[in-house]
């Protein structure tokens, strides 16, 4: 019962953080606000990080609750932190050694729909959200890969 309560609180917290960060991102336009003093525990350094990561953690909690398998949650958290830390390590490494600090591509027009969805945010904010979104995708598919390998012999090799 204690684990169930913990998972429900974890889920509620991340749903709350998702809607709070959505509001902050939508209303902040081009301003980036760092939240690392308290957001670090969630792997977030800015509101845009928290927007993506809180949704991911809420969905992870739902999967654990629906499937009643805490191992998936533990696996998800471990892979999340491995990927998040790897991404941030690369980011800080590049920040140290790249002299020209500009965007690598001019893709503003391609971000138009995405920017309308989140309130006319800057390219930099869009890149942050896309970066952490793709890190989260890597986490999800790493989990799928591990589960596939773990259950390889139990999965039929041919559908029919």
Query: What digits encode the pLDDT tens for the residues 18-76?
Result: 999 999 999 988 888 889 889 989 999 999 999 999 999 999 999 999 988 888 898 99
Domain residues of the chain, as ranges? Answer: 2-154
**What interhelical angle do 123-150 and 47-67 show, nearest 10?**
20
For residue 108, the 8-state DSSP code is: G
Is residue 99 classed exposed, middle or buried when 0-12, 13-18 and 19+ CB atoms within 10 A define those classes?
exposed
Q: What is the three-class DSSP state of 34?
A: strand
Q: What is the pTM of this model?
A: 0.78
Q: What is the three-class DSSP state of 96?
A: helix
């Amino acid at each position: 019962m204690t684990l169930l309560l913990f998972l429900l609180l974890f889920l509620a917290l991340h749903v709350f953080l998702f809607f709070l960060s959505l509001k902050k991102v939508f209303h902040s336009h081009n301003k980036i606000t760092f939240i690392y003093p308290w957001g670090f525990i969630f792997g977030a350094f800015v509101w845009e990080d928290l927007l993506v990561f809180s949704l991911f953690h809420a969905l992870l909690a739902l999967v654990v609750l629906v499937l009643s398998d805490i191992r998936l949650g533990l696996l998800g958290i471990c892979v999340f932190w491995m990927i998040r830390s790897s991404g941030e390590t690369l980011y800080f490494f590049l920040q140290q050694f790249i002299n020209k600090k500009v965007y690598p591509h001019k893709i503003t027009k391609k971000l138009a729909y995405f920017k309308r969805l989140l309130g006319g945010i800057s390219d930099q904010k869009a890149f942050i959200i896309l970066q952490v979104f793709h890190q989260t995708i890597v986490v999800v598919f790493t989990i799928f890969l591990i589960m596939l390998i773990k259950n390889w012999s139990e999965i039929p090799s041919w559908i029919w």
